[in-house]
Structure 1
Amino acid sequence: MERDFKPAMELVIAVYIRLSAEDGDLSDEKNESNSVVNQRAYIHQYIAQHPEFSGARILEFCDDGYSGTNMERPAVKRLLRQVRDRKINCIIVKDMSRFGRDYIVVGDYLEQIFPFLDVRFIAINDGYDSKDHKYGAAGLIDVSFRNVIYDLYSKELSEKVRSTKKQLAEKGYYLAPFAFFGYQKSPEDKHTLLVDEAAAATVRRIFDLFISGLSTHEIARKFNVEGVLTPLQTKRTQSVTRKWNCVDQDSNYWTSGTVRKILNDERYTGKAVYGKTMRKKVGSHDIKRVAESQWTVVDGAIPTIISKELFEAAKELSASSHSAPPKVSSRIFYRKVRCGHCRLAMTRMEGTNPYYICQTYRRKPDIGCPQDKMSEKELEQAVLASIRAMAQFLRKAEKARQRQSDKADRYNQRIEQKILAHENSIKMRQQEKMSAFENMVSGLCDEPEYKRRCKQCDEHIGRLEQKIRELQSEKRQLPDEKSPAESVLPYTNVRTLTRELVDLLIQHIYIYSDTSIEIVWKFQDEYKRLLAELKSKADTTNES
């Protein structure tokens, strides 16, 4: 006799809510029930209407403004991490498209991952509850087709949004969420830009100083000494709180790159430019550049700050004062090396023996960065040695992890055997109840005797079920099958450093002096966790 769905642990429900970027763009047309507020109310109403969820602990995970075509969403990643840690045993969403639109990925979770982890999944609008499908979603044609439709709909919607934006751009509408430096959005029309006179004065001054003979380094240094507001800090004064991809979000610090970016921005002549980049595929965060011939350029679409003649003069001067940029393909540490003090990118100086140096002092003398040179050859040797040492450390940690996994697996097998024995005892007691009922019907015993035997069996079954729950809670969590740090394991004896290897393993390299560097690994969190585990194990050994 199969028992009803009864979690062996406290019922923890994960309420997952998602509002896509496309929904946000089309907020005037979309159904209100797709909003975050209404999704939340809708799911909580469903929970309240089902007594089986009474007393459950409810956790909420919300991705606001994320596409459902991939699983690289902050909230869904936190949710799945807690699922893997066995901290969640039920997930409820408005419909499957909220969880994901990639039908292959969603299918894997419904058919394999969630059933394996004993996680109940409910999609309210789709009428899907995994409790009713013992073997996952396999064989449910309507579910499979619905996921395919969601996936195709997402791609179609993305193309429609892109096409609509292109049409608006061709008409001169400004489509970016924020105005760029020198402008501000019109209060009456978010697609119209107005000149921000204070910032525009800075833009004009940059062009005038550059034409007069100052380099971008000298302009940045001058502005830093004078305390001129940077583009980012100008946005902060306009109550823009978004985080951009830069080192220090709060410092007012000009760089030659910031100055050069303004000098190269043709939009200051009144041209609206749209479509320089695009996502490689729907839902991806990877960006690819678009050929200039495919850009959408509309002349006179925004107010002019710089005349075309002045812009062309600055462009010509810039071209004559700079040689062709070196090929970056041969740079092993391309975009990796930063100053450990100001956290900004260090400059690679070409020559027979290339070296890195922080040039912040040239633009902001009071910042205190050292002027030590870091030889690229010496840096290569140090990084290569660090990779080998890291690989050897991780190999030891991996062996220790495997031993722990094997030990936990054997322990869990013993628990499973005890659970199986208890479950067999429960089945025997259930058969006793059935035999007692048959004896009562055939007259071999009276009703009071039948009830007495049933009560004894129920009490025994209750004790066994309690033991099963206790045994389930005693199970040891098995380590993840594959650690992110495993990508470095093959390099215990690597002799040659390549850019591909650096890109694979290293996030940043911070230089504090010619004898002090810090490597930030791409698996930094995993590395710290392994260190903590080994330290804990060493402390336990010492205590014993």
Structure 2
Amino acid sequence: MNKSRVAIYCRLSEEDRNKQSETDDSNSIQNQKSMLLQYSLEQGWEVYNIYSDDDYTGSDRRRPEFNKLLNDAKDHKFDIVLCKTQSRFTRELELVEKYIHGLFPIWGIRFISIVDNADTANKGNKKSRQINGLVNEWYLEDMSENIKSVLTDRRKNGHHIGAFALYGYKKDPDIKGHLIIDEEAAQVVREVFTLFSQGYGKTAIARILNDRGIPNPTEYKRLHGLRWRTPQGKNSTLWKYYAISDMLVNEIYIGNMVQGKYGSVSYKTKQNKPRPKSEWYIVEGTHEPIIDRELWDKVQALIAQKAKPFTVGTIGLFAKKARCMNCGYVMRSNKQSDGRRYLGCSSRHVSKDACIGSFISVPKLEQAVITEINKLSAAYLDKDELEQSVTFNSDVRGKQKALKEEIAAYQSKIAEYTKGIRELYLDKVKGILSEQDYLDLSKDFSTQKERLEKLVIDTQKQLDVIERKIQAGDNKRQLIEQYTNLEHLNREIVEKLIDYILVGKKDPVTKEVPIEIHWNF
């Protein structure tokens, strides 16, 4: 008889970490592994793999090992998931229902947590697993609200609570939440404001700093061993237009603490969204200014004068779609003396060695796109056998299967919640549950049941869309057919057809500009 294969999952939360060094597993992780390995040995199971996430909360869905475990579970690489407690796997009731009570049974996976005696093979302790899920969910929400309350209070009092000090400042080692001037970087900040007040443009200032070899804020922090974060998708060490632009309007440079520009979407995710300025926390005079008020006012007046009025509804034909083939940055539009609009690499102006300088006229790029659409038409629309030779993207079929599994899991959970509510009532009648416990638990069960019913409706809508696409066949033909014989493009067409376009530098011999179009289909 084959041994059962077990996947061990360990997690250390931030509040109980006890590291020996930055690269070692914590004592807590080591203890979890030891306990779970011993338990597996006693049960005669074969350990398939140990998945370990250190310094992650139980509400973080982006845990790398956690997601690796879920993918391996879906592929049935093991038979059992073993944890110290259910909360080590997740503190979210939604994930308890989705995986422990939903997809794991569908995938043939048994879930066991030792300390709280959770075992999906034991139908008798399902209620306790659900109650554990509710308690963990409440814990998460309460902890989030407590942390949010503390941080809001500190923001209102002008304490700096960010992980990174703004360029030009550093965290005061003696006073928590206080900023002090980093004189080396502050000199650059003063120069930027001064140059702008003297009439230099933002791109020109970036070029001056780059030509002198002054590292940009991210690179400066890295070189000085300070905490730093690379902007997503960008790893350049050069100053850019947007860095100068952001600096010139940041009130922190005049001694005001400005925080809360972004707020979290939910305690269940680390995603943030912009907040209106009326909701920012601005406290004046919290630290020493780098820029004096006279220079600040002069710069703000110049920015106001140079600001161009924005006409609602107007946007460049290839805005944020055209990228430099060499450095990957979005190309900026400008108008030349001949009256035509051109797209140029935004890096080529900030430093002489920054980029090769991709450049193309908008009409030329427009014609190139139209030509490619016509080529696609010839390749796909003139073949009678197209309908028989269509092959679907595997992601579409995979999505269909995943959605069906989700609906099945949700419907299974709805039936269980319905049954659970009845059982809770019987427990109340028997005196096992108090009236208040019954009301609390039945209310939560009803809420979860309603949430799942809504999820079934929403997921079914997604499934209907996918199945309509599959029934209709590959939409490549329909999409191309809709835009044949075009003379000009508009923004709607560009948005629908094009993901992004890579533009290279003109060949000095052939005079051709390399263009690589990435379609949305």
TM-score, normalized by the shorter chain, greater than 0.5: yes
**Residue 91 (1) aligns with residue 87 (2):** no
**Residue 257 (1) aligns with residue 242 (2):** yes
Q: Which residue of 2 aligns with 1:512?
A: 504
**Residue 104 (1) aligns with residue 94 (2):** yes
Greater alpha carbon shift after TM alignment, 280-289 vs 202-211: 280-289
Of 130, 149, 165, the residue aligned with 2:135 is: 149
Q: Give distance in 1, aligned partners of 2:396 and 2:253.
A: 60
Pair member with larger Rg: 1
Deviation by residue 1:7-42 (Cα, 9 ceiling, x = unmatched)? x5772423242536xx48xx89xxxxxx95414412
**Residue 340 (1) aligns with residue 288 (2):** no
Greater alpha carbon shift after TM alignment, 112-121 vs 503-512: 503-512
**Residue 360 (1) aligns with residue 347 (2):** yes
Of 51, 57, 63, the residue aligned with 1:60 is: 51
Aligned with 2:9: secondary structure? strand
Q: Sort the Cα spacing of 1:360 and 1:46 in 2 relative to 1 into closer, same or farther, 3 A.
A: closer
Count of residue pairs brought into register by the alignment: 423
Q: Sort the Cα spacing of 1:241 and 1:294 in 2 relative to 1 into closer, same or farther, 3 A.
A: closer
Q: Which residue of 1 aligns with 2:167?
A: 181
Give the C-alpha shift of residue 234 in structure 1: 0.8
**Residue 121 (1) aligns with residue 99 (2):** no
Q: Give distance in 2, aligned partners of 1:501 and 1:14.
A: 50
**Residue 214 (1) aligns with residue 205 (2):** no
Give the C-alpha shift of residue 181 in structure 1: 0.3
Of 49, 65, 71, the residue aligned with 1:75 is: 65
Give the C-alpha shift of residue 277 in structure 1: 1.1
Q: Sort the Cα spacing of 1:19 and 1:332 in 2 relative to 1 into closer, same or farther, 3 A.
A: farther
Greater alpha carbon shift after TM alignment, 496-505 vs 345-354: 496-505
Q: Give distance in 1, aligned partners of 2:38 and 2:99.
A: 26
Q: Sort the Cα spacing of 1:128 and 1:243 in 2 relative to 1 into closer, same or farther, 3 A.
A: same
Whether the aligned pair in 2 keeps the contact of 1:395 and 1:489 (CA below 8 Å) is no
**Residue 169 (1) aligns with residue 159 (2):** no
Aligned with 1:305: secondary structure? coil
Whether the aligned pair in 2 keeps the contact of 1:68 and 1:98 (CA below 8 Å) is no
Q: Which residue of 2 aligns with 1:14?
A: 8
Deviation by residue 1:345-373 (Cα, 9 ceiling, x = unmatched)? 21033798654221322221223423421
Q: Sort the Cα spacing of 1:143 and 1:401 in 2 relative to 1 into closer, same or farther, 3 A.
A: closer
**Residue 349 (1) aligns with residue 334 (2):** yes
Give the C-alpha shift of residue 113 in structure 1: 1.1
Deviation by residue 1:102-156 (Cα, 9 ceiling, x = unmatched)? 32332121223111222221223321122334xxx9x822222221232232122
Give the C-alpha shift of residue 501 in structure 1: 8.8
Whether the aligned pair in 2 keeps the contact of 1:254 and 1:363 (CA below 8 Å) is yes
Give the C-alpha shift of residue 208 in structure 1: 0.5
Whether the aligned pair in 2 keeps the contact of 1:14 and 1:60 (CA below 8 Å) is yes
Q: Return the letter of the residue paired with 1:114.
A: F
Q: Give distance in 2, aligned partners of 1:59 and 1:40.
A: 11
Q: Sort the Cα spacing of 1:354 and 1:94 in 2 relative to 1 into closer, same or farther, 3 A.
A: farther
Whether the aligned pair in 2 keeps the contact of 1:16 and 1:91 (CA below 8 Å) is no
Aligned with 1:184: secondary structure? strand
Query: TM-score, length-normalised on structure 2?
Result: 0.70
Q: Which residue of 1 aligns with 2:366?
A: 377
Q: Sort the Cα spacing of 1:399 and 1:219 in 2 relative to 1 into closer, same or farther, 3 A.
A: closer
Q: Give distance in 1, aligned partners of 2:360 and 2:319.
A: 17
Whether the aligned pair in 1 keeps the contact of 2:8 and 2:47 (CA below 8 Å) is no
Q: Which residue of 1 aligns with 2:477?
A: 492
Q: Sort the Cα spacing of 1:217 and 1:53 in 2 relative to 1 into closer, same or farther, 3 A.
A: farther
Q: Give distance in 1, aligned partners of 2:152 and 2:229.
A: 26
Give the C-alpha shift of residue 209 in structure 1: 0.5
Deviation by residue 1:288-342 (Cα, 9 ceiling, x = unmatched)? 2212222111111122101122112101101102313465774565434321112
Of 294, 313, 321, the residue aligned with 1:309 is: 294
Q: Give distance in 2, aligned partners of 1:95 and 1:394.
A: 53
Q: Return the letter of the residue paired with 1:198.
A: E
Q: Sort the Cα spacing of 1:379 and 1:125 in 2 relative to 1 into closer, same or farther, 3 A.
A: farther
Whether the aligned pair in 1 keeps the contact of 2:347 and 2:357 (CA below 8 Å) is no
Q: Sort the Cα spacing of 1:78 and 1:58 in 2 relative to 1 into closer, same or farther, 3 A.
A: closer
Deviation by residue 1:394-430 (Cα, 9 ceiling, x = unmatched)? 98443899999xxxxxxxxxxxxxxxxxxxxxxxxxx
Whether the aligned pair in 2 keeps the contact of 1:17 and 1:40 (CA below 8 Å) is no
Q: Return the letter of the residue paired with 1:159.
A: E
Whether the aligned pair in 2 keeps the contact of 1:186 and 1:193 (CA below 8 Å) is yes
Q: Return the letter of the residue paired with 2:350.
A: R
Q: Give distance in 1, aligned partners of 2:473 and 2:352.
A: 40
Greater alpha carbon shift after TM alignment, 340-349 vs 194-203: 340-349
Greater alpha carbon shift after TM alignment, 377-386 vs 50-59: 377-386
5 Å-filtered alignment, 1:432-451, equals none
Q: Give distance in 1, aligned partners of 2:86 and 2:317.
A: 44
Q: Give distance in 2, aligned partners of 1:47 and 1:381.
A: 62
Q: Give distance in 2, aligned partners of 1:288 and 1:266.
A: 21
Q: Return the letter of the residue paired with 1:364.
A: S
Structure 1: state its 5+ residue gaps: 1-5, 29-34, 405-481, 524-544
Whether the aligned pair in 1 keeps the contact of 2:219 and 2:237 (CA below 8 Å) is yes
Aligned with 1:161: secondary structure? helix
Q: Sort the Cα spacing of 1:102 and 1:522 in 2 relative to 1 into closer, same or farther, 3 A.
A: farther
Whether the aligned pair in 2 keeps the contact of 1:390 and 1:488 (CA below 8 Å) is no
Identity %: 23
**Residue 281 (1) aligns with residue 273 (2):** no
Q: Which residue of 2 aligns with 1:132?
A: 122
